[in-house]
Structures are given as C-alpha cells and as structure tokens.
Amino acid sequence: MTVKYELKENAAILTLTRERYLNTLTLEMIEKIDKYLRNIAKNKNIHMVIFKGEGKKSFCAGGDVKSFYEEKYKNTNILRKNFFYKEYKLNYLIRKYNKPIISLVNGICMGGGVGIAMHSNLTIVSENVTFAMPETAIGLFPDVGSGYILSKIKDNIGIYLGLTGKRLNSSDLIELKLADYCIQYEDFEKIENLLVKIKTKTSIRKIIKKYAIRTDSLLFPSLNKNISQTFKYKSVEDIISSLKTFKEKWAVEALGALEKNSPTSLKITLKQINLAKNLSLRDELIMEYRLSQACMAGVDFYEGVRSVLVDKDFNAKWSPKLLKDVDNKLVLLHFKPLGKDDLTI
Ligand code: QUE
C-alpha cells in the first residue's frame, strides 16, 4: 500500500506511505490519489481532505524520478507517457477542489510534494520542514505548477528559488506565504483530531490559529532587495554577473548552485517563471508539460538523475556543458506546442 485512505468523522485522510523512499510519488500513487479525490468529491458525508506523509522524516521528496532512469533501459514508455501528464492534472484537481484540502507538512517537502502541499487550501508546516524546488540539479525545471506559485512571489524570489534550488525552512515559508501556519509537530495529532470533527472553513482556521506559533525568517525580508536586483535580469549570464558583485554568503551559495546546475535547465526555468507571471495555473501546467516532454527527449535529465540519485557522485556531465552553448533556439524548442499530445485540462 503506497497511499493510505482513512475515513475519520467528517474527513478523508490521505497518507503517503512510501516512507523508505521519503514518500516519493510513483505513477501508481498519483493514480490512487486522483481516484480517491474524485470519489471524495461526490461523497456528501466528507467535508475535508487531509494530506500527510508517513514517518517523521518526509512529507514527500518529489516524484520517483529514479524509475524514469530505469525505464530508459527497458522497452516500455509508460512513465514517459503518463507520469507528468497525470501528475500535473492531479495538481490542478487539488487547486480547484470543491472541498477544503489541508496538508500537514513535516520534514522534507520538495518537487512533487510541493505540488500537493502548496496547491492545497491550507498548508500547515511543522517547525521542522525543508522545502526546495531542486529540479535544475537533475536536468529538469520547477514543475507541478510551481512555476505559477513561484512567479507570484514578490522581488523575484521565486526565480531565485527555482534557479538555485535553495532550501527553505518553515519560517521562510511562512514569511513568503508559501505556507499558511506553523504548528509544532507534536501538536499535529491533536490538530488532526480536532479538524476531523468540524465542517466549515471558518472553524478550520479558528482551530489552526489557536495552535499556530510565531516564526521569524533569517532570509526574508532581509535579502529581498538584493535578490530582487540580481534576479531581475532576463538572461542567466546577466544574473551570474550580478551575483559576482556580492560577497555575502547567500550570493556565493547561489553562484555555486548556478555553476553546478544544468545550463539548459537554468535557461528554460528562467524563461518559464518569467512567462508564468502572466499565466493561469492551467496554462502554466500546459507549458510545463511541454517542457517535461522536451526534457525527457534530451540527455540532461537522465544524467542528472544518475549523478544525484543513482551513482550519487554529484558530478553531472551536462550537454551542452556551458551556458553560452545553450542557444535561444534550443530554449524555444522546449516551449513548442505538442498538438494532439498537449496536456488537456
Ligand atoms: C532534485 C530533485 C529530486 C531529488 C534531488 C534533487 C527529486 C526526487 C528526489 C528523491 C529523493 C529521495 C528518493 C528518491 C528521489 O531527489 O525530484 O527516489 O528516495 O524525487 O536534487 O528533483
């Protein structure tokens, strides 16, 4: 069992139960969640959905991208064809759902986990959360509709997060409004037991507010001005030049990340998030699906997964290797409509 379904008083509780793999999402899990949500939507006795992750370490560390690497050496194309298609449709379903969805997030929340937690009506984080959209490290781009979310954060901070894969903690998430409330992990069970008893949105907020704790971010807003200045540029090369004028830790770290991540991923991600500023979530997901198919047709994704998750040498050999060799034609190719193969929502 990879997703546990429990009916508890007025709520359906969906728990990701692949603890050994940090609850990373498989295609089977995506299909199960989709089916559960469609059934819950029709059930008049269920008034809310709660998402959580099994174990203390992780809500969800992303998609099970290692399985793509394995599929590459088989004759099947099941994941390539279906995984992102179904995942992005699920992200949309969560965002537009007809009942409150509450994500109780503790531990790691990256990639696909962000696509569940941050499209929910309420994202509750414990004091112990590590958030990231780290896909440019594996030759992908920030997906699951995160382009939509990141593009709406002020001062180009979303571009900073998407390009560098910067890890954030719970305080940062609250400050950026990527999460709604912070509640101590030891209170999660109590909160869950109170939530399942109620039926209205206003009483949900009331209960949660009672347990919410104050947090203070060390990064924001103190870095906003510098990040805004640096990540306003429309080319990755210009962002790098601007970063080099700063000597502080945040800039040195960001520069290190940009020098390590896939040059192609960086260029498509910058364009993606800038375009997403003017897109609906639906149109963003359609664009992301085109990007996902282009990445899977290329080489960096497989090389990235190999270097970070299979061999763990963290020494990817990107192709093209240098930013200057990723020409605009190659970037634009990633955004090309797929005709009958486009995502339909
Ligand atoms: C970038 C990513 C992912 C990542 C690391 C990155 C990602 C992902 C995982 C992951 C983590 C633990 C597992 C697993 C996969 O790591 O998307 O199978 O057990 O799922 O730098 O995008």
Q: Which pLDDT score, from 0 to 100, does residue 150 have?
A: 98
Span 227-266, pLDDT tens digits: 999 999 999 999 999 999 999 999 999 999 999 999 999 9
- Ranges of beta strands (E only) in 76-220 are 101-110, 122-132, 181-182
Q: How far is the CA of 245 from the centre of ligand 1 (A)?
A: 32
Mean pLDDT throughout 272-289? 98
Domain ranges of the chain: 3-132+177-211
Q: Whose CA is nearest to atom 2 of ligand 1?
A: 135
Q: Which residues form the pocket of ligand 1, taking CB atoms under 6 Å from any ligand atom?
A: 21-22, 24, 61-66, 111, 134-135, 137-138, 308-309
| Ligand 1 atom showing the smallest separation from residue 137 Cα | 21
CA pair distance 301, 285, nearest whole angstrom: 19
Q: Which pLDDT score, from 0 to 100, does residue 200 have?
A: 87
Contact (Cβ atoms closer than 8 angstroms) between residue 88 and residue 343: yes
Q: How far is the CA of 339 from the centre of ligand 1 (A)?
A: 30
Average pLDDT of the chain is 97
123, amino acid identity: T
226, amino acid identity: N
Q: How far is the CA of 61 from the centre of ligand 1 (A)?
A: 6
Q: How far is the CA of 4 from the centre of ligand 1 (A)?
A: 22
By residue count, the chain amounts to 345
Q: Whose CA is nearest to atom 15 of ligand 1?
A: 64
CATH 3.90.226.10 given to domain 3-132+177-211: yes
Q: Does residue 202 or residue 186 have the better pLDDT?
A: 186
| Ligand 1 atom showing the smallest separation from residue 134 Cα | 1
Pocket test for ligand 1, best of 110, 260, 266, 305 (most atoms within 8 A of CB): 110
